Amino acid sequence: MATPKVALVTGSNKGIGLAVVRSLCKQFTGDVYLASRDVGRGTAAVENLKAEGLKPLFHQLDITDPESVRTARDYFQENYGGLDVLINNAAIAFKMADTTPFGVQAEVTLKTNFFATRNMCNVFLPIIKAGGRVVNVSSGMGAMALSRCSPELQARFRSADITEEELVGLMERFVKEAQEGVHSERGWPSTAYGISKTGLTVLSRIHARRLRQERPQDNVLLNACCPGWVRTDMAGPDAPKSPDEGAVTPVYLALLPPGAEEPHGQFVSEKKVQPW
Ligand code: NDP
């Protein structure tokens, strides 16, 4: 029997990730993995979807734990010969009212949203199969943070020649300058979450470029997106969209039809490519 296609959604025990798994279970022809850092929360979420008549599978995955990431990668390589769809959805955000010092918020937020997601990409991209789809769930807050950076930083983040090393250096610089209390005078806005998502969108542009250069025949499409403002534990009860509505754009990018050549390396919102 041929190996089935397979999709993986990080941080999908609740919120938008869970809604993405629900939608993929209904539309994707293949196995869909709900992933959670906590086995109890993950298996409970799987059971809830099963009660809806869906058949997700489960894999433990803490994106900040390199061992957990490698174990998951090896599992998909051994059991499926790779991965067809990867949705990097897991992220964290401090609440507006949180009084944790900004330097700490910067370090903790970038650790998960930028550095751990980058590690996920670098460990998993080599096993994404030809015709695969990679979706990085970023945020419009990243575009907003970009517009509030100094002209010099904006130019680098928008440039077509920024390398991953340079981007990593800039993200490390943001954390360091936030910790030293000098980030504003050095051209950064006071939003750790926003900058983490600026970084993720720029990383997506870099990885997309690299895929085109290194694997031009494979037609892997990789994009960043904003799900919109969605009612979840992260965004609170006042947001206009339901999680299922928030899943629409990530799922659209995950299911771009075979043979499609675009979008690729774009920032997409409401299923439309946005200017960066
Ligand atoms: P939630 O806080 O509801 O869910 C976040 C998910 O990420 C949870 O499952 C959480 O797991 C998981 N997670 C956090 N850290 C890790 C980790 N280290 N390893 C694995 N999983 C982890 O957030 P949303 O559903 O609202 O957000 C989903 C994505 O959408 C995020 O990338 C977010 O930035 C983005 N987004 C959301 C918007 C909104 O309005 N909600 C707007 C724009 C973007 P656990 O339950 O264990 O904490």
pLDDT tens profile 71-83: 999 999 999 999 9
pLDDT of 145 higher than 80: yes
> To which H or E segment does residue 88 belong?
strand 83-88
Pocket flag, ligand 1, residue 165 (CB < 6 Å):
no
Mean pLDDT of 138-143: 98
The average pLDDT across 133-139 equals 99
Residue nearest to atom 3 of ligand 1 (CA): 15
- Could you confirm whether 252 is annotated as catalytic? no
Probe residue for ligand 1, chosen from 115, 135, 232 as the CB with the greatest number of ligand atoms within 8 Å: 232
Q: Above 90 in pLDDT, residue 2? A: no
**Average of per-residue pLDDT values in the chain:** 98
d(CA 261, CA 206): 17
Q: How far is the CA of 10 from the centre of ligand 1 (A)?
A: 9
Closest CA to 160 of 205, 222, 207: 205
Answer whether residue 212 shows pLDDT above 80.
yes
pLDDT tier at 202, thresholds 50, 70, 90: very high
Residue 219 corresponds to which tokens in the numbers above?
A: 């037609």
Q: What is the mean predicted confidence (pLDDT) over 139-167?
A: 98
What local confidence, expressed as pLDDT, does residue 1 receive? 73
Give the model confidence (pLDDT) of 82-134 as tens digits: 999 999 999 999 999 999 999 999 999 999 999 999 999 999 999 999 999 99
Question: Is the CB of residue 90 less than 8 Å from the CB of residue 17?
Answer: yes
**How many residues can be counted in the chain?**
276
Task: Say if CB 10 and CB 120 are below 8 A apart.
Answer: yes
- pLDDT tens digits, residue range 49-64? 999 999 999 999 999 9
Please indicate whether residue 11, judged by its CB atom, sits closer than 6 Å to ligand 1: yes
Residue 227 near ligand 1, beta carbon < 6 Å: yes
- Pocket test of ligand 1: the residue of 8, 14, 41, 136 to mutate, having most ligand atoms within 8 Å of its CB, is 14
